[in-house]
């Protein structure tokens, strides 16, 4: 029923269990009248189908799906494992998660279960099987969502089942206590284990005394637990679903290898996109991010690294907030359209707004959807209606690929290590924010690329320039991959502390940057955290003063390397902070600090990457440029995040996909307006 081959689909999240049955037909008809072509349902409805243990009642969803079949409204059906029913929580308390202190979470919220309870898995298997067997044959059911927002709210698990599963995970990983003790460095602080029963999840230890290697493995364990839980459901769905129906899950949260999750269990990944969090009222206004809602393009870019074409399963349509937290303002006129096109610009081919009607009760009764409590016509519905009309004009770009000029490398070992190592986290946070912000302000479309086991040098060579900001954990295989990339013509930029750790998070005894030392030509002879109370230090690079943020690796060049820049202050004034070396057809740079926005801007400018599409479009810094390509056609998105009108200059004739007119010259954009143009011109 759903066809996205040549279509970008707009849908809504709908909760028929929240509304009288006599409203259903009217709501579905009204959705269709406003261009809605897809609904997501069912992800919190376990008790409706299984009101008591082993008693199944299919009438509610049968009655609703009779309507969707009749009205030809495609449905994504959610498995209900995010919220176990009260009878299950009460009768089998071992399914519940615990906090660090071992206190069991009570029924009454959500995501209070644990992934590793064998009892919970048994019941989840059964309800998933019942759902797919009974409802999967429906012609209107076109896809399945597993659970809801894995690792949201809670990404730490301390139940007895998790303790037992953690030990099994470690036994499979290390095979013996001797190897575990070595990997965790347990001789430090007399932590050595002599029996597996002594090994626990890092929980209620004295503040700030956690073993970082234990915590690194714990992050890996949580990810593995979530992936296994999802795969259990995916295997059942694949067994019973109709051919062509897809499987996804929504959300993107910490301590989760989303690549493994997608590879093992999904047809594509889905994201829940709420840019309005940028305007949360409880945020410190003096600490506001430069990009505000534009920062969600960073998150969408990271989702694109998981699935090149993905879905947004919850797209912001109203102010978001719980009764307990998250106070935000209502989206301003034009922002729903802006955020919709932001998602599409970055690769989304399905947009599902959250939600059709705002719920009148419960924790999320202030998480507003398209319609208010009364259901009256309002400006948000009018804006969604007009946005959907515009999106239908973009159907031809379904499946089009985002066009990036460079990429930032990431990997899960280093990502998880930032949860165990505050020093690492400070550098990563500064650099990933800084590089992305610089790319946005210089209008350079960029990608993220995770160094997963299946990534090859040809994958890297798609990008002439790669940043790998702080690869503290760097093994020989990844180092070899990076070296091959440079030899074959790539430009690689490394940041401070590269190669400092092994796969267990131990600091290596080799001189830094470890496996990359001889290859980069950089020898780290000294180092220090940047002292915040001192005058800001810079790296002088020719006529440019590049800010040196967070950490300073003090360098000496090895034979064949070139000093690009030196520190301007402190006791290491005049010492090298930026070194390069030509290798084969390419070049490698070692930058001895974190990449602030200003530093990343200067580096991108001096290397000739700034404003690569200037001969096609000129636009102010408050606007984003994104490009998707399909066949010979390039689709240019210009997104105005400002509350003021802006002017862009279109240098080559292109088709305005909204108006159908040829555009060349000055094009004015109203506040929050977007321009989407297409032409075949190559850059």
Alpha helices in 193-249 (DSSP H): 212-240
Q: Omega before 355 cis (within 30°)?
A: yes
From 2, 37, 43, 149, the catalytic residue: 149
Indicate if 149 belongs to the active site. Answer: yes
Residues 6 or more apart in contact with residue 227 via CB below 8 angstroms: 256, 257, 260, 261, 264, 265
Candidates 68, 82, 77; CA nearest to 115 is 82
CA of 321: how far to CAs of 148, 285, 330, 360, 410, in Å? 18, 18, 10, 13, 31
Pairing mode of beta strands 623-630, 401-402:
antiparallel
From 2, 43, 50, 314, the catalytic residue: 314
Exposed/middle/buried for residue 605 (C-beta within 10 Å: 0-12, 13-18, 19+): middle
Q: Buried (b) or exposed (e) across 613-647, using 16+ Cβ within 10 A?
A: beebbbbeebbbbbbbbeeeebbbbbbbbbeeebe
Phi, psi of 274 (to 5 degrees): -125, 75
Q: How far apart are CA 567 and CA 502, in angstroms?
A: 29
Q: Are 100 and 64 in contact (CB under 8 A)?
A: no
Cα atoms found within 13 Å of the Cα of residue 168, Cβ hemisphere only:
10
Candidates 542, 537, 584, 593; CA nearest to 563 is 542
Q: Are 188 and 506 in contact (CB under 8 A)?
A: no
Q: Which residues are catalytic?
A: 149, 314
């Amino acid at each position: 029923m759903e066809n996205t081959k040549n279509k970008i689909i707009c849908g809504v999240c709908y909760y028929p269990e929240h509304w009288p049955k006599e409203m259903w037909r009217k709501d579905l008809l009204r959705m269709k009248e406003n261009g809605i072509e897809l609904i997501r349902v069912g992800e919190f409805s376990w008790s409706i189908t299984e009101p008591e243990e082993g008693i199944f009642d299919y009438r509610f969803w049968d009655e609703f799906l009779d309507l969707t079949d009749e009205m030809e409204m495609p449905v994504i059906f959610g498995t209900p494992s995010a919220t176990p029913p009260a009878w299950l929580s009460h009768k089998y308390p071992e399914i519940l998660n615990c906090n660090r202190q071992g206190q069991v979470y009570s029924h009454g919220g959500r995501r209070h279960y644990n992934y590793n309870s064998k009892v919970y898995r048994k019941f989840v298997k059964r309800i998933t099987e019942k759902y797919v067997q009974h409802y999967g044959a429906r012609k209107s059911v076109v896809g399945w969502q597993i659970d809801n927002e894995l690792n949201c709210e809670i990404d730490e698990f301390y139940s007895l089942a998790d303790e037992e599963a953690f030990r099994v995970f470690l036994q499979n990983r290390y095979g013996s206590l001797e190897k575990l003790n070595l990997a965790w460095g347990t001789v430090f602080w007399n932590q050595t284990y002599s029996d597996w029963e002594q090994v626990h999840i890092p929980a209620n230890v004295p503040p700030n005394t956690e073993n970082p290697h234990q915590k690194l493995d714990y992050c890996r364990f949580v990810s593995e637990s979530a992936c296994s839980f999802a795969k259990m459901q995916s295997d059942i769905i694949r067994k019973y679903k109709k051919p062509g129906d897809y499987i996804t899950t929504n959300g993107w949260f910490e301590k989760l290898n989303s690549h493994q999750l997608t590879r093992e269990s999904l047809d594509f990944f889905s994201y829940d996109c709420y840019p309005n969090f940028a305007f949360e009222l409880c945020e410190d206004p003096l600490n506001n991010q430069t990009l505000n809602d534009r920062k969600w393009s960073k998150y969408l870019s990271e989702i694109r690294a998981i699935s090149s074409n993905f879905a947004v399963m919850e797209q912001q349509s109203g102010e978001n907030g719980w009764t307990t937290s998250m106070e935000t303002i209502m989206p301003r006129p034009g922002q729903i359209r802006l955020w919709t096109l932001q998602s599409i610009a970055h690769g989304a081919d399905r947009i599902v707004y959250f939600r059709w009607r705002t719920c009148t009760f419960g924790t999320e009764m202030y998480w507003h959807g398209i319609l208010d409590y009364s259901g009256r016509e309002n400006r948000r519905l009018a804006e969604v209606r007009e946005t959907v009309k515009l999106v239908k004009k973009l159907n031809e770009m379904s499946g089009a690929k985002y066009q990036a000029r460079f990429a930032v490398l990431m990997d899960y070992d280093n990502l998880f290590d930032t949860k165990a190592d505050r020093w690492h986290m400070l550098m990563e946070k500064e650099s990933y924010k800084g590089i992305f912000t610089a790319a946005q302000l210089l209008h350079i479309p960029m990608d993220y690329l995770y160094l997963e086991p299946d990534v090859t040098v040809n994958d890297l060579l798609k990008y002439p320039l790669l940043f790998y900001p702080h690869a503290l954990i760097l093994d020989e295989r990844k180092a070899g991959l990076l070296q091959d990339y440079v030899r074959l013509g790539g430009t690689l930029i490394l940041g401070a502390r590269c190669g400092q750790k092994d796969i267990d998070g131990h600091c290596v005894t080799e001189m830094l940057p470890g496996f990359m030392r001889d290859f980069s030509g950089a020898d780290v002879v000294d180092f220090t955290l940047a002292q915040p109370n001192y005058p800001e230090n810079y790296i002088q690079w020719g006529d440019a003063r590049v800010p040196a943020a967070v950490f300073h690796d003090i360098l000496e060049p090895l034979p064949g390397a070139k000093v690009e820049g030196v520190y301007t202050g402190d006791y290491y004034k005049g010492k090298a902070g930026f070194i390069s070396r030509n290798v084969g057809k390419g070049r490698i740079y070692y930058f001895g600090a974190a990449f602030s926005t200003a530093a990343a801007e200067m580096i991108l400018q001096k290397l000739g990457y700034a404003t690569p599409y200037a001969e096609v479009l000129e636009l102010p810094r408050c606007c984003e440029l994104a490009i998707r390509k399909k066949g010979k056609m390039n689709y240019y998105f210009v997104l105005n995040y400002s509350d003021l009108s802006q002017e862009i200059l279109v240098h080559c004739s292109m088709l305005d996909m909204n108006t159908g007119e040829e555009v060349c010259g000055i094009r004015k954009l109203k506040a929050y307006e977007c321009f989407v143009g297409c032409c075949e011109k190559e850059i």
